[in-house]
Copies of this chain bind each other. A is one copy, B any other.
C-alpha cells in the first residue's frame, strides 16, 4: 500500500500518518519528492482494514499494491491446478469440451443431444434446469426435473453433467444429479451461494459476471476456495461493452491474464459471448489457439424450436464440424481432448 500526500500536505500531516501506522504496528517508508511525498506502508495488510487513511488531513489518495485474493493467485500454486471430475480433467494440458442445450426441454431432447455431442467428442453435457431470465414472463426452466433428465442423459451417453445452481437452498438436491455446478454470470457476486458451494466441495464452473473485472472474478473464486473447495474452473463468456454487433464482447485477453495471475483453469463460452451461431466457430478456434483449457458450447437438436437463446445454438452437424476443427487445433498445440 502506498499513500500519496497532497501537494499542500504539511510536515505535521505526514507525521500524523506515520504515528497512525506505527500505532497499528506498521512501518512507514517516507519518500519526500519535490512536488509530493509518498509513504510506503510495510507490514500485515489486514491491520489496515479498519483504518481509513484517505480521510486523514493532507492525504491525496491511497494506492493498493496487492490483490485481495491469495488462494486463487498464481503465486499460491505456481504449477497450476488441474481439476479432476471423476477422471475427466481440466487444465494442465487437458482440454475439456462441454456441449448441450441452453435449457433442458424434454427427455428426448436432452438424450439425443447427449448422444450426439458424445459422438462428436465432448466429455461434458451442459444444460440448464433453472434458467434465470431477464423477464419474469420468459421460460424459467424445468427445475429439479431438469436436473434428473440431465443425469439420465449423461449416464446414457457416458458424459459428465454440468448444470447451473441458482440457490443455496438447492445444493443438496442438485448434487444428487450433477458432477459439476455452474455459477452463472448474474450470480458471480452472490456471495452467500459462493460460500455454500465452497463448503460443498463440488467442482464449480464459475462464469465471469458480464461487467466484472478479472480481479473481482478471482475474488469470487477466492470466496469458494477460502471454504476449502479448490475445484474451481473459470469461464469467460463475454463482457458488456458499447458494441452491439455481438451480444457481449468476448474478452479473449482474459486467457492470457488468468494464466499469468492465477493457477485456475479457464474455459471459454463462445455461445453467450457471440449470441449468434455463425460467429461461434471463429471464437472457438481463437479460444483454443489463445490457450484456453476448454470450451462450453450450446447445441440443440433443432435450434429453431429451442425455448431460449435459439439464435446462438448449433445443430448437431454444425457442432460436429466445429468439434473436428477444434480437435485438430488441440492436437497441433500438443494438448489432449
Q: Give complex CA distance A328, B332 in Å.
A: 9
Per-position contact with B for A1-34: 1 when CB-CB < 8 Å, else 0? 0101001000000000000000000010111111
Interface membership of A150, Cβ < 8 A:
no
- A230-262: which have CB < 8 Å to B? 239-246, 249-257, 259-261
Q: A36-B65, A226-B136 are in contact. Are A246 and B253 (CB under 8 A)?
A: yes
**Sample (12) of A-B pairs whose CB atoms are under 8 Å apart:** A29-B31, A34-B43, A51-B305, A63-B63, A132-B191, A136-B195, A136-B222, A211-B242, A246-B253, A253-B283, A328-B332, A332-B332
Q: Which residues of B contact A139 (CB under 8 A)?
A: 49-50
Find chain B residues with CB under 8 A from A42 CB: 31-34
| Known contacts A136-B223, A283-B253; A289/B329 CB under 8 A | yes
A281 and B167 CA atoms in complex are apart in Å by 40
Interface centre among A55, A139, A195, by most chain B C-beta atoms within 10 angstroms, is: A55
Residues from chain B with a CB closer than 8 A to the CB of A79 are none
Whether B52 contacts A311 by the Cβ 8 Å rule is: yes
CA distance A214 to B245 in the complex (A): 7
Residues of chain B with a CB closer than 8 A to A167's CB: 168, 192
Partner of A29, one of B38, B63, B134: B38
What is the 8 Å Cβ interface bit string for chain A, positions 138-166, against chain B (1 contact, 0 not)?
11000000000000000000000000001
Q: Whose C-beta in chain B lies nearest to the C-beta of A28?
A: B31
Q: Which residues of B contact A187 (CB under 8 A)?
A: 190
Cβ-defined contact, A251 with B256, below 8 A: no
CB of B332 within 8 A of CB of A135, answer no
